[in-house]
Amino acid sequence: MGVTRYKLYAIAISAALTAMGGTFYAQYILVIDPESVLPLSLSVLICLVAVLGGVGTIWGPLLGAVVLIPLSEGTRVYLAGSAGGGRAVDLMVYGALIVLVAVFQPGGLMALLGDRGRGAGASALRGAGGKGPRDKGTAPDPQPLTPGPPSGAS
């Protein structure tokens, strides 16, 4: 079976589960509008979860969610009695995390753990040299674009 068929199966299953979740959510809140479905803070949270955990890894976004969601809820609950109800503190925590990750650990939390979160294909792409396709020295030399004799011609 081709890879395309499995990709289509994955997309179809993902779409079905997303539609089912959206249906239950719509019945729960009874009103659907852009601000209730996808507020700006949720968009930032989704991006930050992936960046914090490690973009390009399988387990990175999960690790980012395990760290960020309890941190966000903890700051919201713990600081609820402060001025403003602690509503802006989680955004300040997000901003601080973005700066800290970008400056000190650009690979995310998964870079601290090594290649354990990378997919099985990452080791296959490295080849015998142990370097990935994006590492220096692994790209093949470019071939000249000058026309030559056809192959097999004498």
- Beta carbons of 64 and 49 less than 8 angstroms apart: yes
Residues 11, 45: one domain? no
Residue 12 lies in a domain: yes
Residues 19, 69: one domain? no
DSSP summary character for residue 85: G
Residues 32, 73: one domain? no
pLDDT tens across 102-117, in order? Answer: 788 888 888 887 755 4
pLDDT tens across 5-28, in order? Answer: 999 999 999 999 999 998 998 888
Q: How far is CA 107 from CA 54, 61, 149, in A?
A: 6, 12, 47
Assessment of whether the complete model's pTM goes beyond 0.85: no
Domain containing residue 22: 1-37
What's the structural domain count of the chain? 2
Residues 83, 32: one domain? no
The whole-angstrom separation of Cα 18 and Cα 13 is: 8
Residues 107, 47: one domain? yes
Residue 82 lies in a domain: yes
